[in-house]
């Protein structure tokens, strides 16, 4: 079954995961208002966004888990 919006969402989450991994590889400061975001937040976000991308990709393909 063709699900273009699910593929698009999967790609967006994949790009977000790659951006977080890039921040871990070449550290740079991220500031939101008066708060500085720590590096470990990008590690958590990379795992979460990569997982969401993977799950959406499986859903778009129609693959079932065990």
Residue 54 in any domain: the answer is: yes
Residue 8 in any domain: the answer is: yes
Per-residue pLDDT of the chain (66 residues; tens, 9 = 90+): 577 899 999 999 999 999 999 999 998 898 999 999 999 999 999 999 999 999 999 988 887 666
Looking at the structure of the chain, the number of domains it has is 1
pTM: 0.83
Closest CA to 52 of 21, 11, 23: 11
Q: How far apart are the first and last CA of the chain?
A: 20
Residue 66 in any domain: the answer is: no
- Sign of CA pseudo-dihedral 16, 53, 41, 36: positive
Contact by Cβ (8 Å): 29, 14: no
Q: What was the pLDDT predicted at 47?
A: 97
Q: What was the pLDDT predicted at 64?
A: 65
Residue 41, domain extent: 4-27+35-61
Contact by Cβ (8 Å): 39, 23: yes
Contact by Cβ (8 Å): 60, 3: yes
């Amino acid at each position: 079954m063709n699900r273009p919006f699910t593929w698009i969402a999967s790609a967006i989450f994949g790009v977000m995961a790659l951006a977080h991994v890039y921040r871990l590889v070449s550290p740079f400061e991220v500031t939101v208002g008066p708060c500085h975001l720590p590096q470990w937040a990008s590690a958590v976000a990379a795992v979460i966004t990569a997982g969401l991308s993977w799950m959406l990709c499986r859903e778009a393909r129609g693959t079932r888990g065990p």
